[in-house]
Amino acid sequence: MGSRPFLIGVAGGTSSGKSTIADRLEEIVGPDQLSLIKLDAYYISRTHQPMEERVAANYDHPSAFDWELLDEHLSTLLSGERVPVPVYDYAIHDRVEDVRWVEPTGVVVVEGILVLWEPALRDRFDLKVFVDTPADLRFIRRLQRDVVERGRTQESIIGQYLATVRPSHEDFVEPSRAHADVIVPEGGLNRPAVDVLLARVRELTAG
């Protein structure tokens, strides 16, 4: 396969199962052969904003992400050098000082709601995957996740979903589905589809 990493983009709506798929690939293939980058790490820095503004921001809109930095990092990985990926803290709605070093392994997976939306980023991917899961399932999963993992109230989650998450999904995430090479229904619960992706990744890393 040579020294250039094979880039895979995994997109889909909030709580669609894209993280499950990406994490599963990393777990089985191993971090020495597959590196995982999550789009959430590239939320723009909001250090200059008070907490009230951070809480009210639309984190599902393309403007919430630092596309220039992510594109720069992918370019660096493709050239064979490691990159310092930001670490994002959901509790403070901002990056922390730490970074996570990502190596230019044989396969690099970039996972996030809008990784197939931004044209320059999209053009870098060798394989584009969209995880397609019904809206009601995605909302229930998001509600459960944000209560348990991020300490948020049901009221705040529902309010955010109606105000920003759902509109942004309809305006930006869902249209990006048209750019996918592979559509995976039901996310991580679709074992046959995950097995097909895994077989492709194993084929790439075998040499």
Task: Report CA-CA distances (Å) from 149 to 48, 59, 82, 131, 146.
Answer: 26, 17, 30, 22, 5
pLDDT of residue 200: 83
User: pLDDT (tens digit, 9 = 90+) per residue, 45-71?
Assistant: 999 999 989 988 999 999 999 999 999
Sequence spans of domains, the chain = 6-205
Domain 6-205 carries which CATH code? 3.40.50.300
Is residue 95 within 8 A of residue 86, CB to CB? The reply is yes
Is pLDDT of 160 > 90? no
Which of the four pLDDT bands, split at 50, 70 and 90, describes residue 152? confident
pLDDT of residue 135: 86
Mean pLDDT to the nearest integer, 7-11 = 95
Is pLDDT of 1 > 70? no
Which of the four pLDDT bands, split at 50, 70 and 90, describes residue 205? confident
DSSP state of 123: T
Is pLDDT of 177 > 90? yes
Which pTM value belongs to this model? 0.88
Of the ranges 4-8, 14-18, 160-164, the best mean pLDDT one: 4-8
Q: Where are the beta strands (DSSP E) in the chain?
A: 6-12, 34-38, 83-89, 94-102, 107-111, 127-132, 182-185
% of the chain at pLDDT higher than 90: 55
**DSSP assignment of 67-81:** HHHHHHHHHHHHTT-
Mean pLDDT to the nearest integer, 132-157 = 86
HSE-up (13 A, CA, CB side) for residue 93: 15
